[in-house]
A and B are shown apart, each in its own frame.
Chain A
Amino acid sequence: MMSGEPDYAARLRRRHRSEMRFRFYGLLSIALAGVILVILVGSIVLKGYSAFWQTHVRLDFAISAEQVDIDNLRETNWDGQVKATLRDMAPEVTGRRDKRKLYRFVSPNAGYDLRDAIAADPGLLGTGFSLWVKASDDIDMLTKGHLDRTLPESDRRVSDLEVGWYDRFVGEGRIELRFNLDFFTTADSREPEEAGIQGALMGSFLTLLVTLALSFPVGVMAAVYLEEFAPKNRWTDIIEANINNLAAVPSIVFGLLGLAVVISLFGVPRSAPLAGGIVLALMTLPTIIIASRAALKAVPPSIREAATGLGASPHQVVIHHVLPLAMPGILTGTIIGLAQALGESAPLLMIGMVAFIVDTPTGFTDPATVLPVQIYIWADSPERAFVEKTSAAIMVLLAFLACMNATAVWLRRKFERRW
């Protein structure tokens, strides 16, 4: 084999070269994955970050106390006040159609903003005051540069007239980009400038709460029984195989099951976090069981022997020793299962959580939607302004998923034990 020195040296060089190549392929794969991730997140952030800001227009009001019944604010024609102010700002507008265009410069909800401002501070009546209200989505897009004003008028969403007003108002210091806190505190809306993710966030939260409450105890108990108590026979083998099969079932199937059983048979309301939570719990269950069994298996038998040798009953061995030691692993599995559930949309479409819902859900049976489905709804909407909303909602979803996974990693690190 080592007949000639040069031959051996050449072979050694070849081995080194193949080692280098092997490492290079590994590095290449990592770099590729990294670049794809950066492109993905980068494009979402670039598209979506502007959704956290919103164009506001300053309107000046002078409303006398006689015009308003302070005890019954609903009766006042607030929209009329907003329209009157807009007419004052552009006195040259006379035609009906132009006026309607002018009124659409601000969000249709500007009247409510005005009402809320008066309700918060009735002292504003009788004095002149300014209020920043949201501009309509088209004006917002114009501010953010998403509408190309060099296109011919017929090809763009805003007419020359509107662009004229816009430029004049900018000159007057009436236009400003402000942080859009409402994005986090309002639910969905047909008006992109009014749409927020609070409804979807709350829906996701309630749904996950149901999922956790159902899948955690059931999953952990199933894992403990299978791992610690069940005899090893054909039946437990069948159960084990089927749990693994369950983990591989496409999620849409769980949606159909939910529709057929949870909603049709048990009469749980459609679109409710309760129904969604039950469906997602079914989906999460195998993940939790498999992770919990792995965590229980990792507890060294010497601990079980020690406790058994002291006269602890099997139940005490599990409750006092095995389960606490396995808990970090179980929690890690649970969090990963919940993160999966948080990102899941297909089964929820089947049970009607795709509905357009403008109220933030407050209970488990209120109609609700969840973050990924909200993303789907917005991505499907024609208005240009929903594009950035979609990306912003994706960012929020990714942030939550990253937080959950970070918690899982942290738990694993913190409680990692070496025996």
Chain B
Amino acid sequence: MVMNGQQDENPARDFARVKMQAEKVTVFYGDARALHDVDLDIREHTVTALIGPSGCGKSTFLRCLNRMNDVIDICRVEGRITLDGEDINTPSLDTVHLRARVGMVFQKPNPFPKSIYDNVAYGPRIHGMTSGKSELDEMVETSLEKAGLWKEVRDRLDEPGTGLSGGQQQRLCIARSIAVNPEVILMDEPCSSLDPIATARIEELIDELRANFTIVIVTHSMQQAARVSQRTGFFHLGELVEVGNTDQIFTNPDDQRTQDYITGRFG
């Protein structure tokens, strides 16, 4: 595994193992280049926040990490992304398997129009992770518990997931992705459609989940990035301008553009 020196200047986090690594990742939508030569390490049991103004490519980068861009016909990804040292873009790697290891939570809560139980049980079912009903029940319960939703929904598991409030729906979506027991969870602005209380709830949850998972979160809110992440990457115009420990990025950024963005000059 090639370690990229420039990103490891801060010795405080060096103990964390690199979980995923992006090298010279460039993304094209048709002829338009959305991302340009992004090098980024994602460390294990760390929350990595990706910030930047709209259209800067942070969501595009996130979607490269579990190859969600594959479903877009005109999208082309160049460069190398590894998960535990293994290239995720090799043709031999099955996207089904990759997405079981790298789960995703989307901007808008998108529970299936099925029962709460079936929402959570769907992943384990398609991956054949459980051998019986009781094991599946247990898995659903643990996942909902980890997502902090169990107490609220334990009595109505057979009600539709779409009937929950926005914040509950988003936690249901988190429960749904952790039920597959992924190693990495990608979150694409998970709180952008939620009110402040539901947002706080999700942020707490993200902090708890860090113990078991590696998390990459795209966010529009710099405060959120400051609150939940240990490392932050700043994207601008398809480039990764700067990446480092969150406190350093927010207090003492190297790049002028980062400085301007976090102080509110643009964005």
Contact = CB atoms under 8 A, between A and B. Distances in A.
B122 A310 contact: yes
Interface stretch (A26-34, A141-149, A301-309, A375-383): A301-309
B103 A309 contact: yes
B108 interface: yes
B112 interface: yes
A310 B126 contact: yes
A417 B114 CA distance: 12
A414 interface: no
Contact of B113 (A304, A316, A325): A325
A317 to B, nearest CB: 9
A140 B106 CA distance: 74
Contact of A231 (B68, B73, B97): B73
A311 B96 contact: yes
B176 interface: yes
Contacts of B127: 311
A305 B176 contact: no
Interface string B55-73: 0000000000010100101
B110 A303 contact: yes
A310 B110 contact: no
Nearest to A305: B106
Contacts of A307: 112, 122
Given A311-B96, A311-B99, A311-B126, A306 B73 contact: no
A97 interface: no
Contact of B177 (A231, A303, A310): A310
A192 B68 CA distance: 69
Contacts of B68: 305, 308-309
A303 B123 contact: no
Contacts of A261: none
A321 interface: yes
A70 interface: no
Contacts of B215: none
B104 interface: yes
B180 interface: yes
Contacts of A312: 96, 122, 126
Interface residues of B, number: 28
A308 B71 contact: yes
A313 interface: yes
A312 B71 CA distance: 12
A232 interface: yes
A311 B181 CA distance: 12
Contact of A302 (B99, B103, B110, B176): B110
A306 B112 contact: yes
Interface in B110-128: 110-113, 122-123, 126-127
B173 interface: yes
A417 B113 contact: yes
Given A231-B73, A316-B126, A309 B106 contact: yes
Contacts of B66: 309
Nearest to B105: A309
B143 to A, nearest CB: 12
Contacts of B176: 306, 310
A310 to B, nearest CB: 4
B45 to A, nearest CB: 21
Interface of A: 231-232, 300, 302-313, 316, 320-321, 325, 417, 419
26 contacts: A231-B73, A232-B73, A300-B110, A302-B108, A302-B110, A303-B112, A304-B71, A305-B68, A305-B71, A305-B104, A306-B110, A306-B176, A307-B122, A308-B99, A309-B104, A309-B177, A310-B103, A310-B123, A311-B95, A311-B96, A311-B123, A312-B96, A312-B122, A320-B122, A320-B126, A417-B113
Given A232-B73, A310-B126, 19 more contacts: A300-B110, A302-B106, A302-B108, A305-B68, A305-B106, A306-B106, A306-B110, A306-B112, A308-B71, A309-B66, A310-B103, A311-B95, A311-B96, A311-B98, A311-B100, A313-B96, A316-B126, A325-B113, A417-B113
Interface of B: 66, 68, 71, 73, 95-100, 103-106, 108, 110-113, 122-123, 126-127, 162, 173, 176-177, 180
